[in-house]
Chains A and B, each alone.
Chain A
Amino acid sequence: MLFNLLRRIMQMKITLNNRPENFDADSLSVSRIMEIKSFHFKMLVVRLNDTLIKRDDYETTEVRDGDDLKIIHLVSGG
């Protein structure tokens, strides 16, 4: 029972690229989410709640329950 309660607390629901996503944690860094969801392209545009997150801040920026995260791949060509 305690385990279930903890599990419920340790859950977050975010919007990732306009889709709902659940994670078993109360917060995760942007880079951890990229790892879990395998965003492997090298150039990305990341916006957390409409704010631009620069590459140097991926490790230190925490995503929490209710947040809106957008990760857009940039590939060469034009």
Chain B
Amino acid sequence: MPTFNQIKAILSQKTVGIAGAGGLGSNCAVSLIRSGVGKLIVADYDRVSPENLNRQFYFRKQSGMKKVDALRENLHKICPGCLLQMHDTWVTKENIDLLFSVCDVVVEAFDEAEQKSMLIEYMLTNLPDIPLVAASGMAGFGRTELIKIVQSVNLYVCGDEESEISEENPPLAPRVSIVANMQADIVLQLLLKDAF
């Protein structure tokens, strides 16, 4: 096994894209930055609200801030030197290339299934060489043993594939963070696979 310094030396040269800065994106970003990934490109159009704090990596006094600005602030507190390209934008088919085509790996961290599907279809069709790590099914609590990773060539999907969010099945910190960190772990595996 390589040392942390050897791992960081490789990761510092890498760029990871994150589509969405909510429960998945904010927690995944924190783990990637702690691990030493050199550059993140994050896109999200939303603002921090108090209801987000049950699972997203933000603080109460950041309520009302653009998520990309709040996340930049938080990530820089962990790693002042990391490179962060933050885009306050809604991700569409028209800007995916512009945002993510330079990335070594992209993380799908959207909330809505339609947005997940849009990014997955676009990436598999137009950027098939960039691995995409997506997530599906992490609402509620318990049943953590059902969370798994499905792989199909360059596409990875983490989650239980069935726990959809609703009023009666809200997203909660433990399962959302578990899936976000599974995504981060797959990213590390992909970025380090040729190095050691």
Which residues on A are within 8 Å of B, measured CB to CB?
A: 17, 41-43, 45, 47, 50, 52, 54, 70, 72-78
Contacts and interface: CB of A to CB of B under 8 A. Distances in A.
Interface string B144-175: 00000010110101010111110000010000
Contacts of B51: none
B20 A78 contact: yes
Main secondary structure on chain A at its contact with chain B? loop
Interface residues of B, number: 36
A49 to B, nearest CB: 10
B152 A72 contact: yes
Interface of B: 20, 22-25, 109-114, 116-117, 120-121, 124-125, 134-139, 150, 152-153, 155, 157, 159, 161-165, 171, 176
A17 B171 contact: no
A60 to B, nearest CB: 17
B121 A52 contact: yes
